[in-house]
Amino acid sequence: MQLHELTVGQATKLLRRREVCAREITMAVLERIEALDERIGAYLAVTADLALAQADAADKIIASGQSGSLTGIPMALKDLICTAGVATTCGSRILEHFVPPYDATVVSRLADAGVVLVGKLNMDEFAMGSTCEHSAFRPTRNPWNPDLIPGGSSGGSAAAVSADLCLAALGSDTGGSIRQPAAHCGVVGLKPTYGRVSRYGLVAFASSLDQIGPLTKDVTDCALVLGAIAGHDPADSTSVPREVPDYTSFLQKGIQGMRLGLPREYYGLEGLDGEVAAAVRAAVARLEEMGAVTVDVSLPHTEYGVAAYYIIAPAEASSNLARYDGVKYGRRNAGASLAEMYRQTRSAGFGAEVQRRILIGTYCLSAGYYDAYYRKASQVRTLISRDFAEAFARCDVIVAPVAPTAAFAIGEKVDDPLQMYLSDIFTLPANLAGIPGMSLPCGFTADGRPIGLQLLGRPFDEGTLLRLAYNFEQATDFHLRKPVL
């Protein structure tokens, strides 16, 4: 096995035994990026000098016997997580040259754990998209087939992990933006409970929905990275003061008697691809063989989730993105008046999908339409949360597909926003309810496209998701398969 192919867990053991040094692993990853990323487009910035300096510092720490949980591990970040002294563009022209003066809380926590930062990863502009085609700079391609989308908006993060361009990455999930690209790229992705991981320093899309989480090569790595970034943060008013368990302690527990909820609204959805449905049902059957028990559950308001989400998320986006006016920071285009400067700056700085969502959100919040749209969407959100609470009274984990189809061709849906939005139908309800969700590989289509299995849990019960995922992973080999590059 080459060094760039290591998992976080494998690399940590080798580093602590002094069989390899952090600089060697970091160099291997940087060389891999240099050789392959022109074809994949996962990175917007590679921080080679910073990474090597951090790797050398990590080697000194390891030599002293004081290493942290992730010391010397090369990771990369979705480019909407603020990094002091390193550009944070959000995949947008309006922030093309923006360099934050501070680190996001998750960046500080990774630094405390000893992580080596190798770069910032591509994404749909301001996280608004499901394919990573809406980046202002270039699309990201799926490592399994460069003609396919990698998923989005954390497409760069998923593609980088899948192609061994880093050992692990962070993404953000507002409506499925960690889980869906993880499924399409054949990696593990976890959206924590809302409030489990600090959002301080995460550039906001929809503040009541956004959550940072890990994308990794296997479930053990997911537990390790989540443990490093989770926990209360006084700088984030939505952060929950709740103790963080040792997530790796859940992995060795069995799943005998665990109740798996199968939502009839998900499995009976018109448009669910046959190969995806078959792979997910085969995964459920495998879990039953391992001792889990399945129960039917209902999430009756699922059909309203997409409509509610695409009112609430754009409404919050229209408010959050109002700060990009050409005055305080970011791009500025000249205008004869203040209003003209705003118009010129935003027209040049925001892409078509961002402008579309701002317009939708502004309309839904405008006088005379707030009650008709936003208030009703918020009421539907409450009903969806109640659906999950009632379902979890009958089961421990909900098991479902991640997306209706496997990855599709680049450009296939770019001119049909509605079809694009419908690809999030299985993932966005978890964001509306604030519950944790996870994707892990569970199969492949006949033509070799990865398929993901989605696990949804009770609030702050990420440990149970990791436990179930780890047991499935140990009984299968889907996570071991790699794209040929």
Can you spell out the DSSP letters for 91-154?
T-GGGTT---SS--HHHHHHHHHTPEEEEEE--SGGG--SSS---SS----BTTBTTB---SSS
* 170, β-bridge pairs: 77, 214
Mapped onto helix, strand or coil, the DSSP state of residue 207 is coil
Q: Is residue 319 part of a domain?
A: no
Q: Is residue 418 predicted with pLDDT exceeding 80? A: no
Domain assignment present for residue 144? The answer is: yes
What would the two tokens of residue 474 be? 């140990």
d(CA 252, CA 263): 27
CA distance readout (Å), 381 to 164, 211, 312: 38, 17, 9
Q: For 114-139, how does the pLDDT look when each residue is reduced to its tens digit (9 = 90+)?
A: 999 999 999 999 999 999 999 999 99
Q: How confident is the model at residue 419 (pLDDT cuts 50, 70, 90)?
A: confident
Candidates 67, 78, 130, 135; catalytic one: 78
CATH label of the domain that carries residue 77: 3.90.1300.10
| Alpha helix (H) residue ranges in 234-337 | 264-267, 274-289, 305-320
Q: Catalytic: which of 67, 108, 153, 318?
A: 153
**pLDDT, tens digit, 9 for 90 and up, residues 298-314:** 999 999 999 999 999 99
Please answer whether residues 356 and 417 qualify as being in contact, where contact means their C-beta atoms are separated by less than 8 angstroms.
yes
pLDDT digits (tens, 9 = 90+) for 438-472: 999 999 999 999 999 999 999 999 999 999 999 99
Whether the per-residue pLDDT at 97 is higher than 80: the answer is yes
User: In Å, how far are 122, 243, 314, 461 from 467, measured between CA atoms?
Assistant: 30, 18, 35, 10
Chain-wide mean pLDDT for the chain?
97
* Rounded Cα distance, 4 and 251, in Å: 24
- The rounded distance, in Å, linking the Cα atoms of 281 and 405 is 14
Q: pLDDT (tens digit, 9 = 90+) per residue, 206-229?
A: 999 999 999 999 999 999 999 999
Euclidean distance between CA atoms 101 and 120, whole angstroms: 16
* Average pLDDT estimate for 1-21: 97
When divided into structural domains, the chain yields a total of 1
- Sorted by sequence, the CB contacts under 8 Å of residue 411 that are 6+ apart come out as 133
H or E stretch at 388: helix 376-392
pLDDT digits (tens, 9 = 90+) for 473-482: 999 999 999 9
Question: pLDDT, tens digit, for every residue of 142-171?
Answer: 999 999 999 999 999 999 999 999 999 999
Measuring CA to CA, how many Å separate 141 from each of 39, 122, 136, 237?
8, 10, 15, 36
Residue 103: CB atoms within 10 Å: 19
Residue 385: which of 478, 291, 305 has the closest Cα?
305
pLDDT value of position 204: 96
Percent of the chain exceeding pLDDT 70 equals 100
Asked if residue 229 belongs to a domain, the reply is yes
pLDDT at residue 237, as a whole number: 97
Is residue 20 predicted with pLDDT exceeding 90? yes
Q: Nearest Cα to 82, choosing from 199, 190, 194, 181?
A: 199
- Print the domain residue range for 91: 3-254+458-480
Q: Are 79 and 45 in contact (CB under 8 A)?
A: yes
| Cα 428 to Cα 304: distance, rounded to the nearest angstrom | 11
pLDDT band for position 365 (cuts 50, 70, 90) = very high
Lowest-confidence segment of 198-202, 338-342, 451-455 by average pLDDT: 338-342
Is 70 within the bounds of a domain?
Answer: yes
- Model confidence at 417, pLDDT cuts 50, 70, 90, reads confident
Structure-token pair, residue 349: 């700085």
473 in Cβ contact with 198 (< 8 Å): no
- Residue 239 among the catalytic residues: no
pTM: 0.97
Place of tokens 């961002």: 354
Contact 209, 182 (CB under 8 A): no
Q: In what order do the strands lie in the sheet with 188-191?
A: 43-46, 116-121, 74-78, 168-172, 212-216, 188-191, 437-444, 450-456, 397-401, 259-263, 293-297
The reply to whether 337 belongs to the active site is no
Write the CB contacts of 20 (distance below 8 Å, at least 6 apart in sequence): 3, 11, 14
Residue 414 lies in a domain: no
Give phi and psi for 247, each to the nearest 5. -65, -25
Whether the per-residue pLDDT at 382 is higher than 80: the answer is yes
Q: Is the pLDDT of residue 319 over 80?
A: yes
Strand duo 293-297 + 43-46: pairing: unpaired
Active-site position among 67, 92, 154, 177: 177
Asked if the structure places residue 206 within a domain, the reply is yes
Give the model confidence (pLDDT) of 421-436 as tens digits.
888 999 999 999 999 9
Phi, psi of 76 (to 5 degrees): -135, 160
Per the annotation, the verdict on 177 as an active-site residue is yes
- 123, HSE (Cβ side, Cα atoms, 13 Å): 33
Is residue 199's pLDDT more than 80? yes
